[in-house]
C-alpha cells in the first residue's frame, strides 16, 4: 500500500541548513505551482546542490550581482535564472542569509495537474518526460523570472485570506537513504565538476540523463 503524501508545508528551518543536507532531503518532497488555471503538483526526483562562494559551479561564486541577488537572501525563497537565451531554471535558496547556497530542481514526476503541464510541454512524448530536466521542469510549471524571489515558505499571514502563494514546498514522502544516489553535476566544468552534488532517486524514470560539460565552440 502506497502511503498518502504529507501535505504539510515545509518550514523555513528546513532550508536554513547546509545545502548538502537540504539537497538529498528534498527528494520525494512536493512542489506545488498555483496557476490561474489550477495547481500543478510535482514530486521531486532529482536535484543539484550549489555551495555559494565556496563553489566554482555556483552563480554566486564571484559575489553578489543583480542576477543572483535572491541567493544571498533568506532561505526558502526561489531563485529563477534565464539561460542560453531560451530557458528558465528554478532553485531553492538554502543556509543562513548571506550564504548564497541553493538547490537546483532538476527533475520530478507530475502527480497532479498533468493536463496543465502537457499544454506547456507539447514535445513530451510521455508524462514521465514532462519535467525531466531543469528547463523542462520550469516550462511545465510555467516558472519564469517573474517568480524570482518568491517565498516558498510563505503562510496565510503573508499571502492573503486564501493562503495561496505561486510556489510551495510540502513534506511529501521523504526518500529513504538507500534509494538516494549521487554523482557529478550535469554540465559543470572546471573545479566545480569534481563535486558529486547531484542527487536522484534510484531507478526513477523521470530522472534526467547525466551529461558532462561540453565546451561551446566560438564561431569564427
CATH of the domain at 193: 3.10.300.10
pLDDT of residue 214: 65
Mean pLDDT of 61-69: 93
Whether 159 is covered by a domain: the verdict is yes
DSSP states of 43-81: EEEEEEEE-GGG-TTSTTTT---TTTGGGGS-TTBEEEE
The total domain count for the chain is 1
With H, G, I as helix, E, B as strand and everything else as coil, classify residue 117.
helix
Whether 80 is covered by a domain: the verdict is yes
pLDDT of residue 215: 60
Whether 154 is covered by a domain: the verdict is yes
pLDDT of residue 191: 85
Whether 120 is covered by a domain: the verdict is yes
What pLDDT, in 10s, does the model give residues 105-163? 999 999 999 999 999 999 999 999 999 999 999 999 999 999 999 999 997 544 444 45
Whether 150 is covered by a domain: the verdict is yes
Whether 138 is covered by a domain: the verdict is yes
Mean pLDDT of 7-19: 97
Query: Residue 149: which domain range?
Result: 11-201
Whether 21 is covered by a domain: the verdict is yes
Whether 113 is covered by a domain: the verdict is yes
Instruction: Please state, in angstroms and rounded to a whole number, the distance separating the CA atoms of residues 116 and 1.
Output: 28
pLDDT of residue 90: 97
pLDDT confidence of 218, banded at 50, 70, 90? low
**7 phi/psi in degrees, rounded to 5:** -95, 15
Looking at every residue in the chain, the average pLDDT score rounds to 91
Amino acid at each position: 500500500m502506497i502511503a498518502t503524501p504529507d501535505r504539510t508545508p515545509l518550514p523555513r528551518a528546513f532550508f536554513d541548513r547546509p545545502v548538502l543536507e537540504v539537497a538529498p532531503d528534498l527528494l520525494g518532497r512536493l512542489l506545488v505551482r498555483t496557476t490561474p488555471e489550477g495547481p500543478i503538483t510535482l514530486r521531486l526526483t532529482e536535484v543539484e546542490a550549489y555551495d555559494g562562494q565556496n563553489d566554482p559551479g555556483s552563480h554566486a561564486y564571484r559575489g553578489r550581482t543583480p542576477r543572483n541577488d535572491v541567493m544571498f537572501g533568506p532561505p526558502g525563497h526561489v531563485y529563477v535564472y534565464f539561460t542560453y537565451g531560451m530557458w528558465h531554471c528554478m532553485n531553492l535558496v538554502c543556509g543562513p542569509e548571506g550564504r548564497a547556497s541553493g538547490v537546483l530542481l532538476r527533475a520530478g514526476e507530475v502527480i497532479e495537474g498533468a493536463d496543465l503541464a502537457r499544454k506547456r510541454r507539447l514535445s513530451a512524448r510521455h508524462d514521465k518526460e514532462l519535467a525531466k530536466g531543469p528547463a523542462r521542469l520550469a516550462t511545465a510549471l510555467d516558472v519564469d523570472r517573474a517568480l524570482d524571489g518568491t517565498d516558498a515558505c510563505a503562510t496565510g499571514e503573508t499571502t492573503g485570506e486564501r493562503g495561496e502563494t505561486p510556489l510551495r514546498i510540502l513534506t511529501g514522502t521523504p526518500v529513504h537513504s538507500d534509494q538516494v544516489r549521487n554523482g557529478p553535476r550535469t554540465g559543470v566544468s572546471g573545479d566545480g565538476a569534481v563535486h558529486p552534488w547531484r542527487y536522484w532517486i534510484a531507478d526513477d524514470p523521470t530522472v534526467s540523463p547525466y551529461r558532462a560539460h561540453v565546451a561551446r565552440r566560438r564561431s569564427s
